């Protein structure tokens, strides 16, 4: 197995320097906060909305998932994440549609933008450029412009924090500056002490987790209330960075169906590994369900690893789990002997799709 404490071995596979993007994520979040703070919400965008819809795909949609998980209770109106060519039928003139496309050229998101225009919804675009920015500027819709040049999944700070700050500027939530600052400080601390390249494996939670997952099928579980979006992020990062399939589900629904399935296929079960993402804000009954579920799965001979969030407020706790997951996916890519940055199958798929 590759020695994850050997920087030269890591760099031999990390040819596009994904480690730099992960280790500089706190700086990205700080820059994203500045971008969001400089956004001047037009008067026409400050309205009473019946619902908020964030439309996007892949790395541009996960920010919407986190927004929903984080502020749905405080905002007081439904928040939906749309990953499709069309918007839900309920979208109308009393809806706010946040169009999130890092490149600005995602065809499903362009189509959803056009649908939002037809439905006369209020629109806010978040993009680095491309067709979305052109359309929004032509139609007089506000745009938050974020820096280009990153893989979309590596631009989560830019996709999320300006959107969060915009919610405050629209009067939908309280100011989150304190929580954002805590996220930035916590990520720096986690990188320095728990996940960074220079942290030895014996002290490095991400390297240890990656080694445990290697050559296994990861199943990621978390609570429905706030960590469901983190489960989605872990799955996406394991797929794109580590080129590894995984599955994920949330409590309490797990205990009403999936828990029964831990018998078959019997020949494969031994190659599974479960990761339970735990948060201090989990409902007490959810925590109890996690305890029982862990015990039941371990009786099947399957290893269960728990990863606990850190931080005082909810937002830092969410991002602590996200950042650990991003780091795990990077080290697993190295153990799989693949460059974590290229996503050749996505590129091939887009090329094939463009032919028709």
Of the pLDDT bands very low, low, confident and very high (cuts 50, 70, 90), residue 356 is: confident
Answer yes or no: 270 catalytic.
Answer: no
Query: If you search the block for the tokens 């100011």, which residue do you land on?
Result: 175
Question: For position 172, what pLDDT does the model report?
Answer: 95
Question: Edge-to-edge, what's the strand order for the sheet holding 303-308?
Answer: 247-251, 217-223, 272-278, 303-308
Catalytic residue among 119, 226, 240, 243: 240
The structure tokens listed for 182 are 């805590």
Question: What pLDDT, in 10s, does the model give residues 1-28?
Answer: 799 999 999 999 999 999 999 999 999 9
Question: For position 324, what pLDDT does the model report?
Answer: 98
Strand pairing class (79-82; 247-251)? unpaired
CA–CA separation, 165 and 180 (whole Å): 10
Which letter does DSSP use for residue 254 in this model? G
CA–CA separation, 108 and 142 (whole Å): 20
Catalytic residue among 270, 283, 288, 350: 350
- The contacts of residue 113 (CB under 8 Å, 6+ apart) are 55, 97, 99, 123, 125, 132, 135, 136
Hey, what domains does the chain have and what are their CATH numbers?
A: 7-16+179-335 (3.40.50.10490), 18-175 (3.40.50.10490)
Q: Print burial letters for 152-170: b (CB count within 10 Å at least 16), e (below 16).
A: bbbbbbbbbbbbbbbbbbb
Residue 131 has pLDDT above 90, yes or no: yes
Residue 353 sits at the vertex; the CA angle it makes with 87 and 242, to the nearest 5 degrees, is: 85
Contact 124, 144 (CB under 8 A): yes
Contact 18, 328 (CB under 8 A): no
CA atoms within 13 A on the CB side of 236: 22
Q: Which of 164, 97, 194 is nearest to 315 (CA)?
A: 164
Answer yes or no: 240 catalytic.
Answer: yes
| Longest CA pairwise span in the chain (Å) | 61
Catalytic residue among 256, 267, 299, 355: 256
Mean local confidence (pLDDT), 130-147 = 98
Answer yes or no: 137 catalytic.
Answer: no
The residue count for the chain: 356
Q: Which of 292, 257, 261, 299 is nearest to 276 (CA)?
A: 292
Q: What is the mean pLDDT of the chain?
A: 97
Helical residues (DSSP H) of the chain, grouped into ranges = 7-13, 18-23, 25-37, 62-75, 107-118, 130-139, 156-169, 177-190, 205-213, 228-240, 266-269, 284-298, 314-335, 344-354
CA atoms within 13 A on the CB side of 224: 10
Question: What pLDDT, in 10s, does the model give residues 223-277?
Answer: 999 999 999 999 999 999 999 999 999 999 999 999 999 999 999 999 999 999 9
Question: What pLDDT, in 10s, does the model give residues 285-341?
Answer: 999 999 999 999 999 999 999 999 999 999 999 999 999 999 999 999 999 999 999
């Amino acid at each position: 197995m590759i020695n994850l404490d050997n920087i030269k071995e890591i760099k031999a596979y990390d040819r596009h320097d994904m480690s730099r993007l992960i280790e500089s994520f706190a700086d990205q979040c700080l820059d994203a906060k500045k971008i969001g703070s400089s956004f001047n919400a037009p008067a026409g965008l400050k309205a009473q909305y019946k619902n908020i819809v964030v439309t996007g795909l892949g790395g541009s949609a996960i920010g919407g998932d986190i927004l929903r998980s984080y502020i749905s209770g405080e905002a007081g109106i439904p928040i939906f994440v749309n990953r499709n060519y069309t918007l839900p039928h309920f979208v109308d003139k009393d809806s706010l549609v946040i169009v999130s496309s890092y490149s600005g050229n995602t065809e499903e998101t362009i189509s959803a933008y056009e649908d939002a225009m037809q439905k006369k919804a209020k629109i806010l675009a978040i993009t680095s450029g491309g067709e979305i920015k052109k359309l929004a500027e032509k139609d007089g819709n506000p745009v938050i412009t974020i820096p280009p040049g990153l893989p979309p999944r590596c631009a989560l700070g830019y996709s999320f924090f300006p959107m969060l700050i915009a919610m405050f500027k629209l009067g939908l939530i309280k100011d989150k500056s304190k929580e954002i600052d805590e996220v930035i400080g916590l990520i720096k601390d986690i990188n320095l002490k728990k996940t960074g390249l220079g942290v030895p494996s014996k002290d490095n939670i991400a390297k240890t987790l990656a080694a445990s997952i290697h050559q296994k099928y990861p199943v990621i579980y978390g609570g429905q209330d706030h960590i469901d979006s983190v489960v989605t992020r872990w799955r996406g990062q394991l797929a794109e960075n580590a080129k590894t399939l995984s599955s994920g589900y949330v409590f309490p629904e797990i205990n009403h169906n999936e828990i029964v399935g831990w018998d078959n296929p019997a020949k494969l079960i031994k190659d599974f590994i479960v990761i339970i993402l735990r948060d201090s804000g989990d409902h007490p009954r959810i925590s109890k369900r996690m305890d029982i579920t862990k015990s039941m799965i371990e009786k099947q001979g399957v290893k269960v690893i728990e990863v606990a969030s850190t931080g005082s407020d909810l937002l830092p706790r969410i991002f602590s789990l996200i950042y650990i997951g991003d780091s795990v996916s990077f080290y697993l890519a190295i153990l799989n002997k693949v460059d974590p940055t290229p996503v050749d199958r996505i590129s091939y798929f887009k090329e094939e799709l463009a032919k028709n």
